[in-house]
Structure 1
């Protein structure tokens, strides 16, 4: 073979190899400039990552801007700070602007508290967990009248379950800064009208009811809880011990809309109660499913 033919053959092979490599690496420039499917996927993935990153930042900024101010928490100057622990139980903390703290039915609290007063409705373990309580406090676990640090407390005899004479339950009322709270704890039987007459004019009612069929013969139902509400005429009802989604069920039974409160805590003031035009059902459980 002549030198000319050899050089020509080498040149052709070089051109073919170079051209093929060029076409493979730049295939997205073909088909009217559109990228190939694989490149499309990579491009979309990159766009999605960028878009999601921007969305996350945007949502965080939005949450910060739109998050309603937690009025009065930590540094409030009027009313009562009410905090609920954990979901579906009867443990509450009431605190005054002066720092006086009352814990009702302590159980699974998520913080250390140095209370001034502790009330226990009965002696079941989910109402007497003092593991997160420190300091010296007045423990009240009997019926009667009490006046501690300017807080007026009354305990009324009740029943843990319908018709159960052995298991008792104490319904406590607290008058704090002119606001009356009624804490029904594990009251399973509808109290007498005589007892309800003594508890009347409660501003805030903490009450249980069962929406579970298996407790129909032992715990108060929605109809009985409504009777209590009608007798006491509170401005705020906060469902406590009983059933998940009780707030939603109770509000529906009363033909009202439940209000879900974040963080399991609220501040209630006398002026807001006086300005209220109707009953409010507040669900301040933080962990109970709402669907």
Structure 2
């Protein structure tokens, strides 16, 4: 499979058979610009404009935007209800964490998770090979809470998202840089433009992977 990051919480995950999963597409904002996309499945973790711009996809697709169990294009998807804040959603509402089984690899996309997980949520999410984890703070968990969530789910690979990059310009100062999470985690980060792996070689990439924003 291939995993490419487009900034914020937006990724394209392409299976070995060519099925494309797009997560949390955004409207042009904060310095990021998303090109027109093609995707077979689009997931949105919550209904905020930097996560729900499904109109960027120009072909027909399946839209997953709620908790539950789904099976589409040979991909098993589980949505788990969480919250966008530490007060059970009273400030920013609900958030859905998705676990995708693609090519026998479980990829957990946390959306704008705003809190550490409870025991029931950890059990519902289940086994995680690749964790796509917000780490920038303010609208999501910060670097230190992110480390705790990483330890709760114990993935083979963690990929940080939703943090300050150069593309964000001045607006990016509301978020922390990825360096803060790297330091707090104690892991050595490897950087790629795009991650390409399989079940056979996933352990070769174990630890933290930082994907570049083009």
How would you bin the TM-score normalised by the shorter chain? 0.7 to 0.9
1:260 counterpart SS class = strand
Match of 1:158 among 59, 64, 82: 82
Aligned position for 1:54: none
In 2, the alpha carbon distance for the partners of 1:281 and 1:247 equals 11
Aligned to 1:286: 213
SS in 1 for 2:4: strand
Equivalent residue for 1:256, pick from 180, 187, 201:
187
CA RMSD of aligned residues (A): 2.0
2 CA distance for matches of 1:165 and 1:280?
31
Q: Partner residue of 2:129?
A: 203
- Residue equivalent to 2:10: 91
2:16–2:103 contact (8 Å) kept in structure 1: no
Q: Where does structure 1 lack aligned partners over 5 or more consecutive residues? A: 1-79
Once the two structures are TM-superposed, the CA of residue 198 in structure 1 deviates from its matched residue by 2.4
C-alpha deviation, 1:275, in angstroms? 4.9
Shift, 1:132, TM fit:
2.5
Supply the distance in 2 between the matched residues of 1:177 and 1:114 (Cα, whole angstroms): 20
Q: Which has the higher strand share?
A: 2
Q: Larger RCO: Structure 1 or Structure 2 (Cα < 8 Å, ≥ 6 residues apart)?
A: 2
Which residue of 2 is the match for residue 191 of structure 1? 117
Aligned CA distance change for structure 1 residues 272 and 248 (closer, same or farther; 3 Å): farther
Q: Aligned pair in 2 of structure 1 residues 234, 266: CA closer, same or farther (>3 Å)?
A: same
User: Distance in 2 between the 1:170 and 1:242 partners?
Assistant: 19
2:195 corresponds, among 246, 249, 266, to: 266
1:179 maps onto 2:100 in alignment: no
Aligned to 2:172: none
Q: Give the structure 2 partner of residue 18 of structure 1.
A: none
Aligned-partner Cα distance in 2 for 1:222–1:122: 21
User: 1:209 touches 1:221 (CA, 8 Å); kept in 2?
Assistant: yes
Tell which deviates more after alignment, 145-154 or 156-165: 156-165
* 1:35-184 correspondence to structure 2 within 5 Å: 80-86=1-7, 89-107=8-26, 108=28, 110-166=34-90, 167-184=93-110
SS at match of 2:56: coil
Contact 2:136 2:178 in 1 (8 A): no
Q: Which is richer in helix?
A: 1
Kindly indicate whether the alpha-carbon contact (under 8 Å) linking 1:145 and 1:155 is maintained by their aligned counterparts in 2: yes
Tell whether the 8 Å contact from 2:144 to 2:181 is kept in structure 1 after alignment.
no
What residue ranges of structure 2 are gaps of 5+ in the alignment? 166-175
Aligned residues: 197
TM-score where L is the length of structure 1: 0.63
